[in-house]
Each structure stands twice: as structure tokens, then as C-alpha cells.
A and B are shown apart, each in its own frame.
Chain A
């Protein structure tokens, strides 16, 4: 069985300051890991994905995440928050691409608030 735990349900930062959204995973395999963002009344959008290549993954809009197997973590970071980053962020795990169960397993989400 696989699962993800998002350690913070809500994070508030000031515009221009760094963002850190924490995620720990549990998987029987070497997993594929994703971060999705959900803006109000919008569909889920893929920010970035890790699929066993480089452990530091760069995504859209300046976000990046580092896969740390020893810590079973996949934290999402951004050097400088922008007002438009305010949204719900989901850490997601799946079996390695091309194997196992196809479904995505989502964390419970972290709501990012950006203060002016």
C-alpha cells in the first residue's frame, strides 16, 4: 500500500519570501511522486513529477522538489512566493510508471496563503 502525508494543512507566507510545503510518502515500490496545484474553481494542474531520474525536480512557475529516499520525503519549495501562488497543493504518489496500480494516491492537501 502507498500513502502520502502532508505535514501542514495550512501554510501562510509573505509575498517574496520562500515557500516550503512538506510531504512524506510511504510506498512498497520506488514510487513516482507528483505535486499538483488546485486553484479555486479550476482543475488540478501538474506542477512537477519525480520518476526515478534526477532527485531534484524542477517544475513550472519556479517550484522545485527534492526526492530524499532516506527520509521518504518530497518537499515542495519556491524561493520567492507570488500572490498568484495562493492555492491548494497536493502531494501525490503512484506506482512506478509502467508498473503496478495506475491510480494516483493524494495527500490531504496544503492550503498556501500568500500575504501582501
Chain B
């Protein structure tokens, strides 16, 4: 079956611009997670959705970052006024229900010039 997909696979933007990153979870998975992986490091948690609601957004670095999941399926991570330090691979994962194995997408590589 289809896995987690993320679009775009690569995004290059200029400092100060707004970007949206999309995640399509595995069909039927109720939990969805966003992580950020900087070069040479392990992924770091950003936000977790259970259904449509953000159950834990404690990993979002600041208020420039926001994520939505309006229908409990697709999620969009939104970054306002991008900074060079936002450059990283943004990973999405989903799981059938809270607490079970997380399945990861291939990631979106964001480069802020």
C-alpha cells in the first residue's frame, strides 16, 4: 500500500518568504507527527496531531511555525518569515493510533537562501 508522502520533495526559498509543506499520511492513520532534521543531527519533534487537533505542539520553535490538519488526514506545516536557520529536512510520520509505530515519509528538504 501507499506510504506517507510529502510534497514538495525540495523547496528553495528566500529569507523572509512564506512556505507550506504538505504531508499525506497513510490512509486510516489517526495520528500524525512533524519532525525537523538538521544536517548531521537526528530528527527533532515539532508537533503531533490526533485527528484534527494538535495534541502536542511543544516542539514548535517559535510562533512563525504553524501546522493544521483540518479534516484529520492531510496536514500542512506553515512557516512564516523564513530564516536561514529554518533550512532542514522536514519529516512527517503517521501511526494507526496514538502510541504505536510511526511510519515516516521521505521528507521535504527546505533551503532558505
Contact = CB atoms under 8 A, between A and B. Distances in A.
Interface residues of A, number: 22
B43 A106 contact: yes
Contact of A109 (B42, B50, B106): B42
Contact of A108 (B41, B45, B55): B41
A83 interface: no
Contacts of A102: 31, 33, 48, 50, 55-56, 98-99
Nearest to B46: A103
A43 B4 contact: yes
B105 interface: yes
A43 B106 contact: yes
Most buried by B among A36, A45, A101, A104: A104
19 contacts: A36-B104, A41-B106, A43-B4, A90-B43, A98-B98, A99-B99, A101-B56, A102-B33, A102-B56, A103-B48, A104-B33, A104-B45, A105-B45, A106-B43, A106-B44, A107-B42, A108-B42, A109-B41, A109-B42
Interface of A: 36, 41-46, 49, 90, 92, 97-99, 101-109
